[in-house]
Every structure is written in C-alpha cells, then in structure tokens.
Structure 1
Amino acid sequence: MDSDERRRHLGVYLAGLRRAAGKSQRQLAALLCDVSGTQSVTRTEVSRWERGKRVPDVWLPWLAQLLGVPVREMERAAAYARGDVWASLPGPSASLSALLPEGDPLRPTDVTGRRIGAEEVAGLASRVHALRLADDVLAGGDLINPAFRELGSALALYRESSFTEDTGRGLLVQIGELGQIAGWIAADAGRLGDAERAYRIGLDTARQAGDMPLVGNLAGSLAYQWSNNGREQDGLGLAEAALHEAGDAAPPAARALFCDRVAWAHTRIGTPQHAQAAMRALGQAHEAFGAETNAETPAWAYWVSREELEIMDARVFTELHRPLRAVPLLTHVLDRYDTTHGRELALYRSWLAVALADANEPEQAAAEAQRVIALSCDLSSDRTTKRARVVLARLQEHAAVPEVQHVLSNYGHLLR
C-alpha cells in the first residue's frame, strides 16, 4: 500500500469518527479552534484530512479529545498513514470482519492442508495465555491488532488443516478462549461491534467443544458489555443464562466470576429490587469461591481472587450509593494492588473517587481524580477514558471546593 492510499485510509477513519460524533466538518473545525485557542483550522483543512491530502499531526490530541478516542489510537492511525512502524499492521479502520472469511468462519476449505496435532494446540494455548498476561499491563489500543491477527490465524488453522477429533476439540477450545480475550481487548479499545463478533465466534466454538464453563465466560463477557452500554435488561438475561449454562459443576473461581457478573448486571439496572438481587449475587460469588471441589481452575480464570471479588463488591456498593461500605474496601485493596496494572488501578480509583464524593469528602475525591487522570493519560483504553469523565462529572456538584475547582479547571474540557 503506497503513502497516498494510507493517507486515504486515515481520512476514511477520521470521517467515520466525525460522523459518529454527530459533527459536520465546519463544526469540528470550530471546536478544534476553541480547544486549541487558535483560529487556524477551517472546514477546508478538515476536508483535506478526510480526503487523505494531509495528516493532521499537531491536531491529533485535540481530535482524539473531540472525537472520543484514545490519543494513542489516533497517533497510531497517523503513524500508519505516514508509513511508520505500524504500517505492517491492519489499518486504523480495519475491523475484525475484514480479517475473517465470509460466512461460517469454521467451515473447512475444499483443500486439506497439513496435518496438525497436540503440539500446535499447545502452541496456540501458549499464545492465547500470553495475550491474557499482556492485557494485564497493556490497554486495548496496544493489543487489538495482535489479538485480531491471532484470532484470524487460529480460524485459518482450523479451516485449512487436518486433525484427529481430540485435536479438533482442543483447537475449538483455544479459539473460544481467544475469542474471549480478543473481545475483551476490542471492548477496551472502544470497538464494541468487533468485540461482540469475537465473543460470538468464541461462543460458537466453545459450544462445539462442549466446554460449558468457557461458554459461561464468553456469555458473561458479552453480558458485561451489554450492561455497560445501554442494554441493561439484555445484559442481565445473558449474565443469568451464563451462570445457568456453566452449571453447578463449574470450577469455584469460574462460578464466582459468573455470580459477580450477575451482580453487576442487576446493579446497572439500579432499582431497589435489583439492588437487593445484586447484594445476594455478591454473597453467592464469595460462597462459590470458597467451595471445596476437585475441579481444576481454567487458565482464563487465573486472575479471579478474593481481592478481585472485593473490588466488585466495592464497585457495586459505589454504584448503589453506599460509600461507607465501598470506601474501606477500595482503600484496603488499592493499598496492595499490583502497580504494573495501570488500567485496573485507574478504573478502581475512579470508583473510589465517586464513592468519596458520595461520602461528602470532595477534597479526597479530587485527589483520587487527579490519580485517575494521571494513570489514564498514557493508556489507549476506552474504559479508562469514560471513567475519567464519570469522575469529573460527579465532582461538578462540589465545584466550589478549591481542590475540586483546581481539577475541573485543568481537566473539565474532557467533559465537552
């Protein structure tokens, strides 16, 4: 792909973001002038960017702010247009669909390829787990291209190879696990459509493999996405179905995770009846985690711990406006949380900031807001960006407090 074509690709990407934000070229130009404090951007200049005539290098931070995408994602899109290090990766507007075959992604090809066995399945499992571990310390924008390429390659391996029944089942399980982590990464990058597609591919393969706990994990992941993005009732129904489909024999860590997702789905609906159901589900999560069983914990549940259950408890308490229960839990866990997990620290501190504001501790809430924004600024994570805005919006009620006023004066523009 030559430089002109890469710039056109960037232009299509920018135009799509602008339309999704409901802005005309003229309106975007005016907003760029407003946030930058200059008058040098015109509608004609925006048009040049979208036609691939120029790359808006100096305007990238403000474009990211106004169009609601992480700065680093915008910078990578521009780097791709310039032919920099990302030129070998899928373009900025590439979707998961563009990397997959038409129709059934598991349909075998007419030509049978090489025969594979347990070694290839083990290699794929190792790469899938490496993606999970990378997701602990990197954000979705950093990992989305590798995750999508890995999922496309795994599907191609299944379609184009020959293997025994046991090897085929092992491949299906790993594709299901890959669908889950790729979906999670895509959602963190703000690519919700791609995330849902990855989850659905994973669900199909996990069901074919007969791995019901994995089915529950995939369904629960999609339920979590729905609950957080305007489909609260659908999210609850799917979260409950995930718990039911996994069954009572699911390993304790997996069942605890599924109960937590049910709790969160009830919380997002937020009525008194659902609040009570959320509290019951939290209790069930702790009971499940402490159950004695011979079932082996699946690799994808390695991160589920008492500490993470307490984090979900505190998030639910915060959303239900019970700060006296949320603040001690969050403070206790955050004091010993792994500092390499920057995204999670930003997210969890965002709930602490809101809980402190609810507890009428605006000075402490402002201090936490500063930490959230400091942690988020270098993360290509749609989740942390949205949570930073939630915190800033919550602080507006305390705008007269000097510490809050300072935060809002420095970062209030993020709410525009």
Structure 2
Amino acid sequence: MVTELPAWAVRLRAERRNRFWSKKEMARRLVAAADEETRKCLPARETIVRRIKAYEAGHNQPRDPYRLLYTRAFGTSEGELFDMPQAPCRPTLDDVFAKLPGSDALTPLPTRAGRRIGMSTIADLSARVHRLRLADDVLAGGDLLQPAFRELDAVTRLYREATCTEHTSRALLAVIGELAQISGWIASDAGRHEQAANVYLLGIRAAREARDETLESNLLGSLAYQTANLGDPQEGVTLAHAALDAAGPHAPARARALAWDRLAWAYVKVEEAEPAMRALEEARAALEQRSGEYEPAYLYWVDASELQIMEARAFTELRRPLRTVPLLTDVLDRYDATHARELALYLSWLVVALADANEPEEAARAAWRMFDLSKDVASDRTARRQRVVLDRLVPYRDVPQVREVIDRAR
C-alpha cells in the first residue's frame, strides 16, 4: 500500500530535481551553503547523501543546520519549504496532553440512562481487546482498521452511558486505554498517523484516570515510536523518556524492558549511538529480572527475540552491518512465518545491512523474500520499508540479481 509523501518531502525532491541536481550534488550544495564554523561540524559527504535520501522519503524533517542550508541552497524561505517553523523539540507531558483532541469520549453523561455493568462485562471486553491484538499479529492495519475503531467507539460509548461502581469504572477506563493502544497501532500501520496519535492520546488520558501507570507507559511508548519514525525524532526521545518515567522501577519486567526498548529506538532516530546502546542494555537487564510476577496481557510479545530484533535494527540504522546480519539471521531462521508483515519488515533491515556490507547478491535474495511476503499486506509500514529497500539497492543495480529485484518491484 503506497501512501502520499509529506508535502515538505515532495518539495525538497522537486526543488532538487528542477535544478537537475543529483543527491551527491545536493550534498555538495548544502556543504557550500554552510559558513566555516558549521562546515566543520558537518558529517562526511556520504552521510549527508543518506540524510537527503531520508528527507526526500519523508522519514523525518530536516533539523538545523540542514533546514537553513536547504533554504540557502534553494534561495527560498523556510516557510516555503517546510510550511511552518520547526516546533519546540522537547515538550513536557503537559504539552502532550494539550494535544488531546477536543472530544467528549471520556466525559460521562450527566444522567446515565444505559444498562448497569459489572466486572463480568469488563472481562468480556478485555477478551475482545486481546483477540484484536492476536489478530494484529497475522493481519495488517488496513484489514483491521474498521473493526478496531468500531470496538473503540462502542466501549467509549458504554463508558459514557452505563452505570457502574467506581471500581468497575476504573477497570473500564483501563479497557479503553488498552483498546486505544492497539487501535492506534493499527491506524499507524494503515498509514493513518494523525488518527493514531489522537487515539494514543485518548488512551493516555484513560490510563491516567484509571491510575494505571504501566498502561500509560505502554501508550506513551507507542506514541514515542510513531513520533520518532514519522514526526520529530527529538520529540520521540522526550515521549520515550516519559514512558520510562511512567513505568517506574516497580513496573513488571516486560513493561520496563519495552520502555527502554522504545527509548533506544528514539535515540537511534536522532543518531545518538551511545545512549541508544545503553538503553538496549537496560532493556535486556530488565527482561532478565522476570520472576513470575503479574504482567498485563498486552505485554505477551515482549521477549528476548524482540529485543534482539530491535538491537539488530539499531545497528542497521547506525550502519554497523557486521553486527546486524548475524543477529537478524539468527532470529529470522526461527520466526513464525504466519506473521508475514513482521517477517517482511525484519527482512527489510537485513537487506539494508547486507547492502551496507557490500553483499548485493545476498541482499537481493532477502529482498525477493521480503517483497513476496508483503505484496498483499495492507500495511503502510511495509510500503515505506519497500521504498527504503529499493533506494538502498539502486547503487548495485548493475548486479543481475539486484536489477531483477528492482525491475520486478517497479
């Protein structure tokens, strides 16, 4: 499923192409636009080219000094290129809650005329939410978007209209929070990113009112992950820290491991390798502390293999293919083939790592498998990774196996 690129990404690419500049020439122009002090701080030309590719693919907006360098190179204003000035990069949690949609979804009606509900209803609703999670393991966001939001609408309506005890009301709020998390994840996978963010924020509010810090951490971490990937990565770091704070030192081991895992990825997206590696170590240490404690059902998927995959993805983004390839190969050899979307996504990182390791034939083989798995998957994430894979294979298009993959994909 291919979605439209952000308007600013389209403009950056169009401005470059209108001048008949290659990405290498664009990198040279950006360096030339820098003053002497800034030029000393810029990375190698190859790194700038990779940044240009990422910007034009819509992965994240340029931050200073690159925003300023783009405006100088193109002879235009920041507003014309990026629509609006860059937002402050480190909001407080109050800033996050200020973004909540102006909805009455969690405001009970003054006079509740609906049926009275008890904990048996909560148990039934929790089971429905978990079935939706399990469905997301084997189906993509485009397949589950409508049923997920029907469930969310029904449960929030029940909260507003039904009568119940305070204990049951808090339990129902927790169900809303859990349903908001999986619905937001599904919406994000379907390419509905603004809708996903609003639903995550609704869930955070529900978790706070339910006084469920572990659930709040899970929702903040999910929002951090989307923001780091598709919005401002620095804001993703802030949100990931908030998720870690919400979990606290006494949360279940899997919850703490997941919060550290999200923080590691956010640091990867801002290209801060040391804190990313430290966060991955903390995630592993947290997971090793499991001791038969109670864990919410939504943490079922957090295990050593998932942390290994995140570590491999981090090494891929940080251009360390010799660390990535053995990690991913080990996990993928035993990964459940029914989880086609996840398997395709993880293969995409293996393709990039193999290309970085100058193994184009092996990269082409992994790409074949990735495209086969994802061809009927209604997922925006796999569509984005397909574009990343193709971009990474282009320098090897003279290799017959690679050229065949590129021609087939196009």
* TM > 0.5 fold call: yes
1:172 alignment partner, SS class? helix
Question: What percent identity do the matched residue pairs reach?
Answer: 56
Deviation at 1:294, TM superposition (A): 5.6
Mapped partners of 1:22, 1:346: distance in 2: 25
- Name the residue aligned to 1:36: none
- Name the residue aligned to 1:60: none
Mapped partners of 2:229, 2:9: distance in 1: 22
Deviation at 1:104, TM superposition (A): 2.2
Tell me which of 325, 329, 332 is aligned to 1:331.
329
- Name the residue aligned to 2:194: 193
Is 1:251 the counterpart of 2:252? The answer is yes
- Name the residue aligned to 2:275: 277
TM-score (norm. length: structure 2): 0.75
Of structures 1 and 2, the one with the larger relative CO (CA 8 A, separation 6+) is: 2
- Name the residue aligned to 2:299: 301
| Structure 1 residues 252 and 17: alpha-carbon distance in aligned structure 2, compared to 1, 3 A threshold | closer
Gaps of 5+ in 1: 1-15, 24-67, 69-100
- Name the residue aligned to 1:168: 169
8 Å CA contact retained: 2:213, 2:247: yes
Counterpart of 1:403, as a letter, is Q
- Name the residue aligned to 1:28: none
Counterpart of 1:308, as a letter, is E
Once the two structures are superposed, what CA deviation does each residue of 1:15-37 show, in whole Å capped at 9, x if it has no partner? x97997999xxxxxxxxxxxxxx
Counterpart of 2:239, as a letter, is L
| Structure 1 residues 17 and 269: alpha-carbon distance in aligned structure 2, compared to 1, 3 A threshold | closer
8 Å CA contact retained: 2:119, 2:168: yes
- Name the residue aligned to 1:318: 316
Is 1:212 the counterpart of 2:210? The answer is no
Mapped partners of 1:22, 1:392: distance in 2: 18
TM-score (norm. length: structure 1): 0.74
Mapped partners of 2:108, 2:297: distance in 1: 28
Mapped partners of 1:379, 1:253: distance in 2: 29
- Name the residue aligned to 1:133: 134
| Structure 1 residues 373 and 126: alpha-carbon distance in aligned structure 2, compared to 1, 3 A threshold | same
Deviation at 1:405, TM superposition (A): 1.2
- Name the residue aligned to 1:367: 365
| Structure 1 residues 332 and 236: alpha-carbon distance in aligned structure 2, compared to 1, 3 A threshold | same
Give the superposed CA RMSD.
2.0
- Name the residue aligned to 2:105: 105
Mapped partners of 2:105, 2:352: distance in 1: 43
1:190 alignment partner, SS class? coil
Deviation at 1:370, TM superposition (A): 1.0
- Name the residue aligned to 2:151: 150
Matched length? 318
Counterpart of 1:356, as a letter, is L
Deviation at 1:212, TM superposition (A): 0.3
Mapped partners of 1:261, 1:110: distance in 2: 39
- Name the residue aligned to 1:92: none
Mapped partners of 1:340, 1:120: distance in 2: 32
Q: Is 399-408 or 150-159 further displaced after alignment?
A: 399-408
Counterpart of 1:133, as a letter, is L
Mapped partners of 2:407, 2:174: distance in 1: 50
8 Å CA contact retained: 1:251, 1:293: no
- Name the residue aligned to 1:9: none
8 Å CA contact retained: 2:254, 2:290: no
Deviation at 1:308, TM superposition (A): 0.7
1:347 alignment partner, SS class? helix
- Name the residue aligned to 2:232: 231
8 Å CA contact retained: 1:154, 1:175: yes
8 Å CA contact retained: 1:250, 1:295: no
Once the two structures are superposed, what CA deviation does each residue of 1:324-381 show, in whole Å capped at 9, x if it has no partner? 1110010010001001100000000000010000111000001111111111111000
Mapped partners of 2:138, 2:172: distance in 1: 27
Mapped partners of 2:308, 2:8: distance in 1: 36
